[in-house]
Chains A and B, each alone.
Chain A
Amino acid sequence: MDRCCAENLRMERRVFVKAGGLALVALGLDPIFLTRAAYAVSRAGGAAAAKKTLVCIFQRGAVDGLNMVVPHGDPFYYRERPRIAIPRPGLAGGALDLDGHFGLHPALAPLEPLYRNGSLALVHAVGSPDATRSHFDAQDYMESGTPGLKSTADGWLNRFLAAQHAREHQDTPFRGVAIGPQLPRALRGATPALAIDNLQAFGLRAPEPARDRLTQAFEELYQGSATGLVAASSTEAFEAMRMLKTLAPDRYQPGHGAEYPGGPLGRSLKQIAQLIKADLGVEIAFADVGGWDTHVNQGASEGQLAARLTEFGRSLAAFSQDLGERMADVVVLTMSEFGRTVAENGNVGTDHGHATAMFVLGGGVKGGRVYGDWPTLDPARRFEGRDLAVTTDFRDLFGEVLTQHLGATDLSSVFPGFRGVRPVGIIPRT
């Protein structure tokens, strides 16, 4: 550690002791614990490499990639979607042109500036090599990271956490955290990860003075009586509670005037932003957003899908604005289990298809581009004659984000049996 950082650390520790140390001593905690907690707080002044975070957003239900990122330059697009196509750029309700061939759904207008300033990249025709059109199987494969193999018990994000013994992150219970009542499949496995539905509610549910007393009593109980994994997890739990307590999540003010929209995704991203800014050591954060299974009346520039995309775009834009400069250390990666049929169906909707589009936003991303080979919507080039073909294996994209952004060195256990088809090039090697 160079001198600047050592000084930082000392200073941070002083601040910490002033802020919370006395309270901890009063709880009768041992010195090792104090050091650890101090270290966790000190990370704010630690090396830049310590702060990288990946935020994954899963669009459950299979988003219609073709109306989210519109191939307005592909003649087959308008031929196959007479009632639901997004009009050409420049027309009323038209797509927001990106590069003369693709355009954003107009509801995603809040993301357009991020594309223009080069922090947002898109990947089209990305997906799984497995042919399944079952939500159940395809989500399973995208989260286990092993398409076609159902017996994989853990998720790719958890295996990443296990493989990567990040010195900077392992001393925090927040290293892998999902916003929601349960851990998503992608984060499940042997490495501890935290599922938090609501930062404010994480802790013992009791009125304030009783809560502190109960927490203290349980902590004594676990420190003196627990062994093994139960003891380790309890330490994480009490530490997380303490770290969150100082956060005062109910009084959180997003930075730079950012305004999150109502709805679950905005709520999740707001909490993730708060955790990141509090320097709790979040390396992987995960949030779900549903409502993409648009079989019926999906609408075009307005309607059902447009409403979902509005929430989606505003949430991502607010997150980026909230984090401000911190976005340099953060990458947001969106994913969905598959795309939808090229042709609209008899119910003015779309059915389960194959490839879709994904967003990559944030630090180090070479944005302002749509990545991936465009297979065209020519029926002869479609998957099984009907769906957008996959030209980018999702593992190539996910793997690149892990190596280029989080510094993973070996993906053999994260995506077992996958050697990589080809780099996407979305985050250049630094």
Chain B
Amino acid sequence: MAVAQRLLFTAGLLLLPVPAPGAGSLPSGGAPLPSDSTERARALHVLNRLTYGPRPGDVDRVVAMGVDRFIEQQLNPEKIRDDRVEDRLKPLEVLRLDPEELGRIYLDEVRERRQGRPLSRARKLAAEFQQAAVVRATLSERQLYEVMVDFWTNHFNVFLGKGADRFLLPDYIEHTIRPHAMGKFEDLLIATAHSPAMLFYLDNVQSVTPGAVPPRPFGRRPIAEQRIPKGINENYARELMELHTLGVDGGYTQQDVVNVARVLTGWSMRPPRRGVGFVFNDWAHDRGEKVVLGHPFPAGRGEDEGIALLRLLAHHPSTMRHLSAQLCARFVADDPPDGCIDAGVHAWQRTGGDIREVLRAIFQSPEFWAPQYRAAKVKTPLEFVVSAVRAVDGAPDTTLVLAQIVGRLGEPLYLDQPPTGYPETQDSWVNAGALLERLNLGLGIAAGRAPGIAVNLDQLIPGDNDPSQLADRVNREILGGTATANTLRVLREQAASLPPAQARIMAVGLALGSPEFQKQ
């Protein structure tokens, strides 16, 4: 018990300026009261869905402070102190470089590669950036916020492997996605539409009105004929409606796609040598009148046409439904229940698309709490790795390896090619090879030989336990008490025939690799 209290105390220090709940309200050992177990189950569910999984003691802590209060706290990340994660991010050079500097490094190395040298520094910076995401997911106290950053990163997916996106992506995540992750959807949408990373990824930089000729840059050679785009490119226009806003059945036509592309002609980026950033190229813009979804866009309004279009899309009923369904798929079930979607849509209507309010409505919907959806969603590779590290109160070490492990499990961060982003549904993540990798990682963590992870089992499962105590303890600390009778039996039997130190490795490894731990 003393150790459990020490863990709680440590957690409390790292936590939030919210007043610590009285120690007297903590459940003391022994059999929990019925209402107590209900609250623990609620706390576990909230930790499974709003965070990257409970750390040891987190369930007790949330029960003590009150489940609703915990949700409220997570909905207000700006009020949560997050010193530890900021310290851990400090050594990462990539977070201190602006896109111009990153662009210079990358382009220099591309030039060098033509002479046969590898992309070393640029690769390392990309690896640092992937690691930053894993560090934040593991260590941040603003857990719901980090979950939402991941959600929007995939919703507005950009592929790190495509040309200029190798140096545009860090700025995109840091200054486009993160500031708006819990704000108004409209602001987020408009920010992504202005981001060079997205405009490059989905080819809007190539989209010009037919016949447009760029002005000859002063004092420079004219642009080679074959490099001048010849007409509109529909790519961004289509994904903007299909993926980012209305949804594939959102009620738009091919003519709408063409007209959205026309509205957005001229939305482009400055090349790296002239300071990366958004630019509206008047010369490339289609000056004609357009109609999108039945709304006229009068001729000659330039960039403002695009802004008006994005507002129209952001507040369209199809967008509310599409986005609410996606959020419910993330927080409730792969096949999102209607009640949850409706709750999200109502909140969206009421608040003009305030993401925080939509989330609050989803968390208050009966579907969020319905028993059939608890512990029923398979974790993504990122969720699995991070939750395993958190479950043993571990941390990423100072190498960049943990992000590589997430990649090996099938979700290399920022490297999903198609604009859909990584999927939320289990059929994309559960397969024989991937499952084996999960078992191997669980065993590696338990044995203290998983690279990239600092962990100390002595703190988590201290001292000698008989097999039965060990199984119960592992069930409580790592599986949140969800182990089936079969799992408990296997843990006990395996532990019974091993010396204590090995028994602990076996039990923890089996728990992290268990079917129960694959779900959230």
Q: Which residues of A contact B (CB under 8 A)?
A: 134, 136, 139-140, 144, 150-153, 173, 181-183, 185, 188, 190, 192-196, 202-206, 214, 217-218, 220-222, 224-231, 233-234, 236-237, 240-241, 295-296, 347, 386
Contacts and interface: CB of A to CB of B under 8 A. Distances in A.
A193 B516 contact: no
Query: 5 shortest A-B CB distances, which residue pairs?
Result: A224-B486, A226-B515, A237-B432, A236-B432, A225-B484
B513 to A, nearest CB: 6
A194 B432 CA distance: 7
Contacts of B487: 221, 224-225
B433 A202 contact: yes
B1 to A, nearest CB: 29
Contacts of B46: none
Given A225-B486, A231-B515, A218 B439 contact: yes
A237 B430 CA distance: 11
Given A181-B408, A188-B428, A295-B114, 17 more contacts: A136-B161, A136-B162, A140-B418, A150-B419, A151-B239, A153-B420, A185-B417, A217-B510, A221-B486, A221-B514, A221-B515, A224-B489, A229-B430, A230-B515, A233-B435, A237-B433, A240-B432
Contact of B248 (A151, A173, A190, A236): A151
B398 interface: no
A218 B431 contact: no
Interface string B409-440: 01010000111100100111011111110011
A140 B310 CA distance: 28
Interface residues of B, number: 51
Nearest to A385: B226
Nearest to A386: B226
Interface string B482-518: 0110110110001000000000001001100111101
Contacts of A150: 235, 238-239, 418-419
B44 interface: no
Interface in B122-176: 159, 161-163
A221 B486 CA distance: 7
A233 B419 contact: no
Contacts of A139: 417
Contacts of B428: 188
Contacts of A196: 433
B243 interface: yes
Contacts, number: 125
Nearest to B487: A225
B515 A136 contact: no
Contacts of A229: 378, 426-427, 430
B328 interface: no
A230 B430 contact: yes
B242 interface: yes
Contacts of A386: 226
B418 A151 contact: yes
A134 B506 CA distance: 49
15 contacts: A136-B161, A144-B418, A185-B417, A190-B427, A203-B436, A214-B443, A217-B510, A218-B510, A220-B490, A221-B487, A221-B514, A225-B516, A230-B435, A230-B515, A233-B432
Among A139, A190, A205, which residue has the most Cβ atoms of chain B within 10 A? A205
Contacts of B486: 220-221, 224-225
A204 B235 contact: no
A182 B483 CA distance: 31
A302 B324 CA distance: 59
Interface of B: 114, 159, 161-163, 226, 235, 238-239, 242-243, 248, 378, 408, 410, 412, 417-420, 423, 426-428, 430-436, 439-440, 443-444, 483-484, 486-487, 489-490, 494, 506, 509-510, 513-516, 518-519
B435 A237 contact: yes
A204 B515 contact: no
Among B243, B412, B433, which residue has the most Cβ atoms of chain A within 10 A? B433
Nearest to A206: B443
Given A153-B423, A231-B515, A192 B408 contact: no
A151 B237 CA distance: 12
Given A217-B494, A229-B378, A234 B515 contact: yes
Contacts of A222: 515
A134 B206 CA distance: 12
B507 to A, nearest CB: 10
A276 B518 CA distance: 32
B376 to A, nearest CB: 9
A139 B159 CA distance: 14
Contacts of B378: 229-230
A204 B443 contact: yes
Among B163, B418, B420, B436, which residue has the most Cβ atoms of chain A within 10 A? B436
A234 B433 CA distance: 9
Contacts of B420: 151, 153
B225 to A, nearest CB: 10
A296 B114 contact: yes
Contacts of A185: 417-418
A136 B243 CA distance: 19
A224 B239 contact: no
A134 B203 CA distance: 10
Contacts of B435: 230, 233-234, 237
Contact of B490 (A190, A195, A217, A227): A217
Contacts of A218: 439, 510, 513
Contact of B515 (A173, A206, A217, A227): A227
Contacts of A220: 486, 490
B256 to A, nearest CB: 15
A375 B428 CA distance: 42
Given A136-B417, A185-B417, A224-B486, A192 B432 contact: yes
Among A134, A183, A225, A227, which residue has the most Cβ atoms of chain B within 10 A? A225
Contacts of A347: 114
A230 B514 CA distance: 10
Contacts of A144: 418
Nearest to A229: B430
Contacts of B410: 182-183
A136 B157 CA distance: 14
Contacts of B426: 228-230
Nearest to B201: A136
Contact of B433 (A195, A214, A228): A195
A204 B430 contact: no
A188 B235 CA distance: 22
Contacts of B516: 225
A220 B378 CA distance: 20
A217 B161 CA distance: 40
A97 B426 CA distance: 52
A140 B125 CA distance: 25
Nearest to B159: A136
B159 A151 contact: no
A317 to B, nearest CB: 29
B248 A217 contact: no
A225 B408 CA distance: 25
Nearest to A195: B433
B436 A241 contact: yes
A190 B410 CA distance: 15
Contacts of A153: 418, 420, 423
Contacts of A151: 238-239, 242-243, 248, 418-420
Contacts of B510: 217-218, 221
A243 to B, nearest CB: 11
Contacts of B518: 230
Nearest to A196: B433
A221 B487 CA distance: 6
A226 B420 CA distance: 29
Contacts of B243: 151
A386 B238 CA distance: 29
B306 to A, nearest CB: 21
A341 B507 CA distance: 60
